[in-house]
A and B are shown apart, each in its own frame.
Chain A
Amino acid sequence: MAQSSSSFEALLTSLAPQGRTALLPALHAAQETFGYISDQVAAQIGKALGVPLAEVFGVVEFYTLFHRHPVGEVLLHVCNDPACALAGADTVYKQIVFQTAESAAGEGVSTKVRVEKSPCLGLCDHAPAVLVQSLPVKASPAQTWQELVAATATRPLTYVDGDVRLLTALCGRHTTVRLDEYRRHEGYRALEQALQSPPEAVIEEVKASGLVGRGGAAFPTGIKWQSAAQAPGSPKYVVCNADEAEPGAFKDRVLMEDNPHAILEGMLIAAYAIGAAKGYIYIRGEYMLPYRVMQRAVEEAQAAGLLGERILGSDFCFEIEIRRGAGAYICGEETALFESIEGKRGFPRLKPPFPTTHGLFGKPTVINNVETLANVPLILRLGAEEYRRLGTPQSPGPKLFCLSGDVKRPGLYEVPLGVPLRHLIEDLGQGMRNDAPFQAALIGGAAGAFATPEHLDTPLSFEGLRAAGIPLGAGVVTVFDSTRDLRDPLYRLARFFAEESCGKCYPCQIGTQRQLEIMERVLEGRPLPGDWERLQDVGWTMTDASICGLGQTAASAILSAMKHWPELFQPAAERR
C-alpha cells in the first residue's frame, strides 16, 4: 500500500490543527494507506480532528471513493456513461468481471482485483475509458486486467485543436508546461500587470471583457468578483472549481494536465482583485494525474515567489491548497464543494445567501471554473477590447468544446463562441465515425439537452443555443449517429442522476430513483400506461422544486428527448 501506518499517524498528527476541514485529506490518506477505512481508523481520524464519529461515518458513506471494507489491491473503475458506452464500455466491464471470477476459483484473484462501474471519468475522447489504480487507460473490450495495469505506463493523449488557440496555445503537445516555459510564453505577465493597477481596475477589466462562467451557469465573472470584493467579512477566499464530472466533459482536465500555471495565474489575479489571501483548488477524486500536475505547479510557483508572501515584490500574499474530491458529482455544485472542503457530506446549501457573501467557511468567496480562470490572464494580456473581438457581442471570447461520441476525431476544440454546431462536428471533428448520418448531439452533458439535425446550424453561443432551448453548459457535445438507440444513453443518464443525487431534497432524492425505474421500463420497451405522464410529472417537479442545479437539471435530457422523439417512450409493439 501507498504509505505505512506510522506515516499515516504522523500525517494525522500534522493535519490535526486544521480540524474538520482536514477530514477528506485524512480519509484519502487512510484509504491509500490501508486500502479501506475501518471503523478503528475512522474513529482515530474523528478524535484527531475533533469530528463526531457519526459524522465521520456520514462523510465516508457519502463519497464513493471511500470504502468501509477492503477493496482489493487492484482497483479498476470502468466508465459507465454514454460516450464510453458507445465504444463498448459494458463489454470491457463484463470481460474483467468474467476474467476475475473465473480465475478466482483457482487463485483467489477476486480479493486482489476489484472492478467497479464508474460515472464519467472525463476521458470521453479515449472511450472506453478505465481508471486503473487512479491512472487513465484507453481500454479495448478484449483486454485482461493485467493488460490494463500494464497499459497505465502510457498516458492517453487528448487531441487538441480549434479555430483559435488562445486558451489551448500550450495544450495538446503531449507534455505539461513547466513554469519556466510558461514564463517564456508571457506567463505571469498578466499578474504583473494586475499588481500594478488597483484591484478595482482589474475587476473593471474583467467586467468589460464580458467573460461569463465556463462551468455551466454562465454568470458574469466580473460581477461575481465585484460582489465578493465589496462583501463585508474576512478572510476572503478564491476557489477553483476543478470538480469536472459532467458526463462528456474533459476540458478542465486537459487545461490542468497541460497548462496548470494559467489556472494559478487566473486564481492569483482573482485573489488580488477581491482581497483574498487563501485559495483552494478542488479537483475531483478521479483526477489523480491532474492533481499531481497541479500540485507540482503550486510547488513551482511557491519556489519562484509567485505564491506566498509579497508576491512579485508587492504587498500581495496568497496561498493555494489543493483538495481532492472523493467521488461525488454533486460537489461540482459550488456550495456542495464548500461543504466538502469544510469536511462534510457534499450537500448543497440553500441560496441565498450566495457564495460571494457567505461562501467557504461562511466567508465571502469567489468560486470560478478552471476554464473561466484560464481566461483571466488572457483578458488582461489582450485587454478587454481585443478579447471581445472574439465571439459574439453577447458571448465574447473563446470557448472549449469537448467533442466525443460518434465522430471521427473526438477531442478538445477551441473556437470563438458563435460558430455553428455543424462546424464543430463536421469540420473539426471530421464528421461521423461510422458514416451513418448524424442523429443527435447531447449538448451540455447529463444536465443538457439534445440537438437534432435541424439544430446543426445553430450558433454555439449562449444566446444562440438558448433560443433553441439548449443549454451550452460546460461545452460538452456528445454525438450519436442514426444507428444508436437513444434510450440507452437516456437510461444511463437517469442512472447517473439516481446514483449521484445527494439525497437532500425530496424531489431529487426520490425523483431520480423513480425516473430511473421508468427509464428502465422504457429501455426494455415495456413502459406502463401512465409512464409518460409520470415521467413528465417527476421531471417537472424535480426541475421546479429541487434545491440545486443537479435536481433541477436531472430530467433535462429526458424531457428534451420526450419532446423530440415521443415514440421512444411508447411500448415496443406500438412503435414504428
Chain B
Amino acid sequence: MTANLVQFTLDGTPAQAPAGTTILKAAQQLGIAIPTICYHDYCTANALCRICVVEVKGARVLVPACTATVQDGMEIHTQSERVQRARRVILEMLYSTVDLSEAPEIEAMAAAYDVDCQRFPQAEPRRPPLIDDNPMYVRDYAKCILCWRCVQVCAEDAQYTYAINFKGRGYETQISTFYEVPMPESTCVFCGQCIGVCPTGALKFKRQYLLEIGYAIEEILQMTRSERGGRRRRAERSA
C-alpha cells in the first residue's frame, strides 16, 4: 500500500488520508461517526448491512463506508437525505425481521435515526426455534441479523474450523451446521469465537441462558450431564 495521501471532502470539510483508507476509518479520524452493524474491526468486512452507506457525488448508488476507500477528489456526504432514508428503512426492516431486544447498539442507532420499530405491520418475522443442542451455548436465530461474523470467525477470520455455514437463501437464510446436525456432531471445537463476535445475543453461553430463563445458580451447578446437554438430540430430531 502506498503512503500517498489522497484529498477529498467529507460533509463539506476538505480532508486527506493515505490511499487505501476506508471512508469509515477516514471519517473516524475526522471525528465523524458513521454507524455500522455487521462491521467488526477484527473480521473481514463484507458491507452486508449497508447501514454505513454514504453518498459520493457522481456515484449512481450509495457507497458502503466500511469497504470503499477514499479517492482523490471524492465528495462524501455522510448524512444526505438518501443516506438517512436508507439507514432508517434498513433499521425499520431489521426490526420487522429479528428480535433486537439484546442489541443495545442497534437500539441506540434506531433512536438516532428516528426509526419506527413497528413500521411494517403484518410482516413475517424470522422466528426459528431456539437450538439447544450442546452443554456450552445456545443458538437463538430469531435474534440473528446475518452479519456473518460467526461464520467468518469459524472459518478464515480466526478458527479454520468451518463448523457453520448457511442454510437456505434470501430472507430464509439461517446459519446452520452441515445438514443441521447437532453442534457436537459438527466439526465445532467449542472455541466460542462465534459468541465473542455475535452482536445481538443470538449466540449465548448456556449458563447465561439458564440464568435468564429463571434457573438459580445452585440449580445450574447441580445439573446432570444429560440435563445440561441440550434438548435437541439426534433421536428427537428424526422422530
Report A's interface with B, CB cutoff 8 A. Answer: 39, 42-43, 52-58, 61-62, 68, 328, 345, 350, 498-507, 509-514, 517, 521, 528, 534, 537-538, 540-541, 543-547, 552
| Pair B169/A514 contact, Cβ less than 8 Å | no
| Pair B121/A528 contact, Cβ less than 8 Å | yes
Which of B62, B94, B177 meets A54, CB within 8 Å?
A: B177
| Pair A62/B61 contact, Cβ less than 8 Å | no
Chain A binding surface, main DSSP class: helix
A–B complex contacts, Cβ < 8 Å, 21 sampled: A53-B187, A54-B163, A61-B166, A68-B179, A499-B170, A502-B169, A502-B170, A503-B169, A503-B171, A504-B46, A506-B48, A507-B89, A510-B97, A513-B123, A513-B171, A534-B120, A537-B88, A540-B85, A545-B50, A545-B90, A547-B50
B40 at the interface (CB under 8 A from A): no
Which of A39, A56, A504, A541 meets B86, CB within 8 Å?
A: A541
Which of B164, B168, B181 meets A61, CB within 8 Å?
A: B168
Per the bound structure, the CA–CA distance linking A544 and B50 in Å amounts to: 10
| Pair A511/B170 contact, Cβ less than 8 Å | no
Per the bound structure, the CA–CA distance linking A62 and B173 in Å amounts to: 9
| Pair A39/B178 contact, Cβ less than 8 Å | yes
Which of B119, B145, B166 meets A58, CB within 8 Å?
A: B166
| Pair A54/B47 contact, Cβ less than 8 Å | no
| Pair A534/B171 contact, Cβ less than 8 Å | no
Chain A hits for B212, CB < 8 A: none
Name the distance in Å between B24's Cβ and chain A's nearest Cβ.
Answer: 14
Name the distance in Å between B99's Cβ and chain A's nearest Cβ.
Answer: 14
Taken residue by residue from 79 to 94, chain B's Cβ proximity to chain A (1 for < 8 Å, 0 otherwise) reads as: 0001001101110111
Name the distance in Å between A540's Cβ and chain B's nearest Cβ.
Answer: 7
Question: Which of A504, A506, A507, A546: most chain B Cβ within 10 A?
Answer: A506
Chain A hits for B51, CB < 8 A: 506
B218 at the interface (CB under 8 A from A): no
**Given A543-B61, A545-B62, does the pair A538, B165 have CB atoms closer than 8 Å?**
no
Chain A hits for B167, CB < 8 A: 57-58, 61
| Pair B162/A503 contact, Cβ less than 8 Å | no
Chain B hits for A507, CB < 8 A: 50, 86, 89-90, 93
> Which residue of chain B has the shortest Cβ distance to A538 in the bound complex?
B89
| Pair B170/A498 contact, Cβ less than 8 Å | yes
Per the bound structure, the CA–CA distance linking A502 and B169 in Å amounts to: 5
B103 at the interface (CB under 8 A from A): no
| Pair B165/A57 contact, Cβ less than 8 Å | yes
> Which residue of chain B has the shortest Cβ distance to A330 in the bound complex?
B169
Per the bound structure, the CA–CA distance linking A350 and B69 in Å amounts to: 12
Report B's interface with A, CB cutoff 8 A. Answer: 46-51, 53, 61-62, 64, 67, 82, 85-86, 88-90, 92-94, 96-97, 119-124, 145-146, 155, 162-173, 176-179, 181, 186-187
Q: Which 9 A-B pairs rank lowest in CB-CB distance, beginning with the nearest?
A: A52-B162, A58-B165, A503-B173, A501-B170, A54-B165, A513-B171, A541-B89, A510-B93, A39-B179
Chain A hits for B96, CB < 8 A: 510, 514
| Pair B119/A534 contact, Cβ less than 8 Å | yes
Name the distance in Å between B89's Cβ and chain A's nearest Cβ.
Answer: 4
**Given A514-B93, A544-B61, does the pair A509, B173 have CB atoms closer than 8 Å?**
yes
Chain B hits for A503, CB < 8 A: 146, 166, 168-173
| Pair B171/A54 contact, Cβ less than 8 Å | no
Chain A hits for B122, CB < 8 A: 517, 521, 528
**Given A54-B164, A55-B162, A547-B47, does the pair A498, B171 have CB atoms closer than 8 Å?**
yes
Chain A hits for B186, CB < 8 A: 53-54
Known contacts A61-B168, A509-B171, A521-B122; 19 additional CB pairs below 8 A are A42-B179, A54-B162, A54-B164, A54-B165, A55-B165, A56-B178, A57-B179, A58-B165, A62-B166, A501-B171, A506-B49, A506-B93, A506-B146, A507-B86, A507-B89, A509-B170, A537-B89, A541-B86, A552-B61
Per the bound structure, the CA–CA distance linking A430 and B226 in Å amounts to: 74
Which of B50, B168, B169, B178 meets A546, CB within 8 Å?
A: B50
Chain A hits for B48, CB < 8 A: 504-506, 547
Per the bound structure, the CA–CA distance linking A547 and B38 in Å amounts to: 14
Chain B hits for A517, CB < 8 A: 120, 122-124
Chain B hits for A61, CB < 8 A: 166-169, 176
Name the distance in Å between A37's Cβ and chain B's nearest Cβ.
Answer: 10
Per the bound structure, the CA–CA distance linking A348 and B163 in Å amounts to: 23
**Given A52-B162, A58-B166, does the pair A538, B93 have CB atoms closer than 8 Å?**
yes
Per the bound structure, the CA–CA distance linking A552 and B169 in Å amounts to: 18
| Pair B46/A509 contact, Cβ less than 8 Å | no
| Pair B170/A513 contact, Cβ less than 8 Å | yes
Name the distance in Å between A218's Cβ and chain B's nearest Cβ.
Answer: 13
Chain A hits for B173, CB < 8 A: 503, 509
Chain A hits for B169, CB < 8 A: 61-62, 328, 345, 501-503
Name the distance in Å between A216's Cβ and chain B's nearest Cβ.
Answer: 14
Chain A hits for B50, CB < 8 A: 505-507, 545-547
Chain A hits for B67, CB < 8 A: 350
> Which residue of chain B has the shortest Cβ distance to A528 in the bound complex?
B121
**Given A537-B85, A544-B86, does the pair A506, B171 have CB atoms closer than 8 Å?**
no
Chain A hits for B46, CB < 8 A: 350, 504
> Which residue of chain A has the shortest Cβ distance to B121 in the bound complex?
A528
Chain A hits for B168, CB < 8 A: 61, 503
Per the bound structure, the CA–CA distance linking A68 and B146 in Å amounts to: 23
